[in-house]
Amino acid sequence: MQHPRDFKNGDHRLNPDFTDNIAANAPRPAAVLVPIIAYDEPAVLLTQRSKHLSTHAGQVAFPGGRIDPGDESPLAAALREADEEIGLPARYATPLGYLDSYLSGTGFRIVPVVALIEPGFTLRINPSEVDEVFEVPLSFLMARENHARHSGIWKGVERHFYAMPFEKRNIWGATAGMIRNLYEKLYE
């Protein structure tokens, strides 16, 4: 098993003392789709998770989830999850590549799969997993001034994370961390 120090991205980047906590538990493999809609002004599709879920309830997230044994790759898992959660047909997605894996403090090694999404799709939201789907201009997410660093208490310890408030929503935590990863790949 790789140690968190071997990973470029994850909750441990802003919380170096958290590395041993992440290393103590074998991270479970997961994949998310980073869907960039190919409008004249590109936008990123995000979900507001159902408030009834046992984990990450009500949070803003990319479509995605655990990599199942039957999934051939992180790409297959991300496309399957996007179809299950929001009904995004894989035929509208052109994969562009992978971002660095992201280690979450909640025990996942997440592979972000960036894909260009052709407009014209119709979504079918699964209400047991997702309350809402919304779009954020890619230009907003790629503007460094929108990458705020915040902190909060988690399990009795102060933890730091990125947050990107947008309209009435707060994009934060692992999702904001992966967006920051995309920004760094493109601009740094």
Kindly calculate the radius of gyration of the chain based on its CA atoms and give it in whole angstroms: 16
pLDDT attached to residue 150: 84
4 close to 19: Cβ distance less than 8 angstroms: yes
Residue 150 lies in a domain: no
Residue 183 in domain: no
Please tell me the predicted confidence (pLDDT) of residue 19.
Answer: 56
- Tell me the per-residue pLDDT of 76-92, one tens digit each, with 9 for 90 and over: 999 999 999 999 999 99
Tell me whether residue 175 is in a domain. Answer: no
Is 84 within the bounds of a domain? yes
- Rounded to whole angstroms, the Cα distance separating 31 from 9 reads 14
pLDDT at 10: 59
In which residue ranges of the chain is pLDDT below 50? 1-5
Structurally, how many domains does the chain consist of?
A: 1
Q: In the prediction, which pLDDT does 72 show? A: 97
Q: Is 103 helix (H, G, I), strand (E, B) or coil?
A: strand
Does residue 34 lie in a domain region?
yes
Residue 129 CA, distance from chain mean position: 15
In 28-80, DSSP assigns E strands to 28-37, 43-49, 60-61, 64-66
For position 52, what pLDDT does the model report?
80
pLDDT confidence of residue 125: 95
| CA distance linking residue 66 with residue 106, whole number of Å | 13
Q: What pLDDT score was predicted for residue 22? A: 54
Asked if 84 and 76 touch (Cβ cutoff 8 Å), the reply is no
Q: Give the domain extent around 93.
A: 4-139
The DSSP symbol for 67 reads: P
Is residue 106 a part of any domain in this protein? yes
Asked whether residue 144 is assigned to any structural domain, the reply reads no
For tokens 């047909």, name the residue: 89
Residue 60 has a pLDDT of 94
Asked if the structure places residue 76 within a domain, the reply is: yes
Q: How far apart are CA 124 and CA 122, in angstroms?
A: 7
Of the candidates 76, 116, 71, the residue with the CA atom closest to the CA atom of residue 96: 116
Q: What is the pTM of this model?
A: 0.89
Residue that has been written with the tokens 């199942």 in this structure:
68
Q: What is the CATH number of the domain that holds 95?
A: 3.90.79.10
Total H helices, total E strands in the chain: 4, 12
